[in-house]
Structures are given as structure tokens and as C-alpha cells.
Structure 1
């Protein structure tokens, strides 16, 4: 994934914004944002975000405390999978005005947000936007599903690592089969395809992915892929 290759060299928080800009260019997106809602370690530094949104919008968002009414932020409470913004409920005039102001400030006509949950209570949101209207956007975003799942978890782990929040965390060594299964998943293969490629049963693939998740302290297989890439345990 070229997008991960662009994010891997980041070593300072100031480098996230240009890296995200490069990621949006790769996929033909308008903007990308990663919001760390909670770290799980009692830090007072959060929420923390990095974004390619125009500065005028982020300044307005913070000045008016839009965290309190933004339905995108609320996704972390109820969603487990990616949520298209067209599914979000408009609960009143204030929320309608919020979206009107977002569009007026060049945020984009459509968006998609992936919630991420870590094993220690960490919570984050990875969002991308586009100028496409909802119907054509739905077709494009569906094809981005795999990459966005990996990207969202990778950004979550990368921000925590750069901020040194996970200092002292240990990672157990992966077996050869665990690495092969994670690398195949990272390339976009389904479990059935991984089994056929490696000459394994599907149940064996599930077992290797489950053990990899446990060793890496990951909540999902995509989370395990992201952490394995971050710690340079697998090749992409």
C-alpha cells in the first residue's frame, strides 16, 4: 500500500498533516482526519487530531466547540464498522447549520469515518471526505474499504507511537505462518484466498490470525496488520 509507505517515515506530530495530504492525493480524496478521542492511559493531552481540513474550518470548529454536536464524533460511541456520513442523523437545526458551515468551508460534500478501538480503552476516528455527491461517492468508497480499514488502525497506532504514549509496550514474536497470514490480509486477500495460497484450511488461517491478534494486543485482524506493519514485523 503506497499510502502506508508515505506514513511510515513520520517521526514527529508536525509531519502528519503533509503525510495525510499525500494519502488523499493517492486515493483522489479531498481531506483526511485522524482524531484520537481517548488513549486508555489517562493522558490529559487528548482529544488530539491531525487533519488536512482548511485552517479556517478547524479554527471555527474549535472556537464554537463543535465537538459537542458533531455527529461524526458520536460514531465512536455506537459504530463498529465504517460509517458513511449520509447515514448520520440530523437531529436539529444546529446540526444542519454545522454541516452547511462545513461545506461552505470546503470540507467536502461526502465523507466516511472508520472507528478504531484499542485493547486498553483507546478510541479514535479516521475520516476521509470527497467532493463527490452521495451516490457516486458510495460506489468509490466501497472500493476503498480494505485500504481505509488498514489505514485507520495504522494511523491510530502511529500517532500513539510518535507521541510515545505506548512507551515500554512489548510485542511478542510472530510465527512464520502468522506473518504470512497477516501479509496476505494486508494485500487484500480474503481468508478463503489466503488458505488456498498457503495450502491451509480456512480454520487454520482463522487460528493464525487470532493468535497474531493476541500477541499484538489487537482487537481486529486489520488492527493486527497495522501494528505488525508499524513494528516492522511484516513486509508490505
Structure 2
């Protein structure tokens, strides 16, 4: 496993586009005995994925907000080091939402895997996952934490620079009023001033901002502005 991680690190250090990154990750996954790979960049409602998972599963994943209940993402945030996971022994003791997630994932051949998370900028985490259709599949040899961290960091850096067009993002739709209120908030306007500008009540502005925060998974208004801007919504 150390040699495979070293090879991935070497290849990624020379990669500067989406195609080379995808080829490197697929080769690495297959050499380790896995069929699928997924890179995820995660924080709250702002989640992106670069993967060879089936397109239908990607659409289901984000349509159902599975990033919020995905046990792999939950464990990645808690552990911040490489770990194996398997749906087989866990799904019967999981919550109804997690069981639904496991059952859906199984339908697309995602049953067990290896995940390598790191902390990145502004409280986000990046996770490189290899997935198998086999229960409890593990690679030969120990996982070197430093090599795994370096590999995930290089995947993150490569994709950040190349900004791949295939990076899957959750679909969030804001109303015109929600966008207007966020735009005025971004300019530093209070709810009272925004209400005067738009000719509506302060409580109505609060309603639109709260709705936007809920849709975006934001913890306050400024975070909602950031997430909406990142998703190209405002």
C-alpha cells in the first residue's frame, strides 16, 4: 500500500488538469482492488464531489441530501485519519435515514471502502474514498497516515487549481427575494435597511434570510452569503 500511495503522490504532483487527476485516481483505486473512487470537499450544505460513482447515484446522493447523513462523512469529520468502513454490519443498527442511505448505496455497488480525510481551509474537510462492492474489503498492508494525508492533499490541490467541470455540487434553488436579501446582506445592509430598500417589512426580510440559510445549510447570514456566492447563486 505504501508503494501505491507513493506512486499516486508522484503522479498527482505532475497532474494539472481534470483528466490526469481522474486517470490517476482510477488507476490507484484499481491497483488497490477497489472499483470506485470519490473525492469530497465538505462543509455543512456546501459539498462537492469528484468521482467515478455512477451518475444516477451521484444525483440520488445530492437530491436526498445524503451528505448530511452519510456515516462515512460523519466518521471522516470525527477521526481525520484513514479508516475502513462497511455498510454490512452497521446498517441494521443505524438510524432509519442511515439505513435508507446504505440500501441505496448497495444498489450501486458501494458496500465497503477506505477513506482518507484531511482538514482543509475554513473548517472544511477533504475526503478521498475508495469503494468496493465486496463486504469488508481491505487492502494488504498497513495504511501510512502521512502518505495518505499527502495524497489527499495533492488531490485537493490539483482539483482546486483545475476546477473540473464534472465536480458535482448539490442543487440549491433560491427565490428572487432570497437572493435580493442575501445580496444586500453581502453589502453590509441590516435587515431594517434591506426592508426599506425593498419596500417590505423587517420580519419579511428575516423570513427570506432564514429560508436561504435553511436551504444552504448555513449557520448565520454571512455564511449563507459565502455559500450562495460559492455556488454561483448570488
TM above 0.5: yes
**In 1, Cα distance between equivalents of 2:56 and 2:121:** 35
The alpha carbon displacement at 1:144 in A equals 4.1
Q: Name the Cα RMSD after superposition.
A: 2.9
Asked if 1:85 is matched to 2:94, the reply is no
Q: Give the TM-score normalised by the residue count of structure 2.
A: 0.55
Number of the residue aligned with 2:112: 110
Range that drifts further, 95-104 or 114-123: 114-123
Q: 2:30 aligns with which of 25, 29, 34?
A: 25
Q: Give the TM-score normalised by the residue count of structure 1.
A: 0.55
Local SS of the residue matching 1:85: strand
Number of the residue aligned with 2:125: 123
How has the CA–CA distance of structure 1 residues 103 and 145 changed in structure 2, closer, same or farther, with 3 Å as cutoff?
Answer: farther
Local SS of the residue matching 2:72: coil
Residue ranges of structure 2 left out of the alignment (5+ in a row): 1-5, 165-234
**Does structure 1 conserve the Cα–Cα contact (< 8 Å) formed by 2:21 and 2:155?**
no
The alpha carbon displacement at 1:155 in A equals 1.3
Runs of 4+ deviating beyond 6 Å: none
The alpha carbon displacement at 1:120 in A equals 5.0
| 1:93-126, Cα deviation, whole Å (9 max, x unpaired) | 221121121111122x311212201365342111
Aligned pair count? Answer: 154
After superposition, where does 1:17-166 map in structure 2 within 5 Å? 17-38=22-43, 46-86=46-86, 90-107=93-110, 109-118=111-120, 120-134=122-136, 137-138=137-138, 140=139, 142-146=141-145, 147-163=147-163
Residue ranges of structure 1 left out of the alignment (5+ in a row): 39-43, 165-236
Local SS of the residue matching 1:74: helix
**In 1, Cα distance between equivalents of 2:76 and 2:7:** 27
| 1:151-170, Cα deviation, whole Å (9 max, x unpaired) | 22221222233349xxxxxx
Higher relative contact order (Cα pairs below 8 Å, separated by 6+ residues):
2
**In 2, Cα distance between equivalents of 1:97 and 1:48:** 21
**Does structure 2 conserve the Cα–Cα contact (< 8 Å) formed by 1:83 and 1:112?**
yes
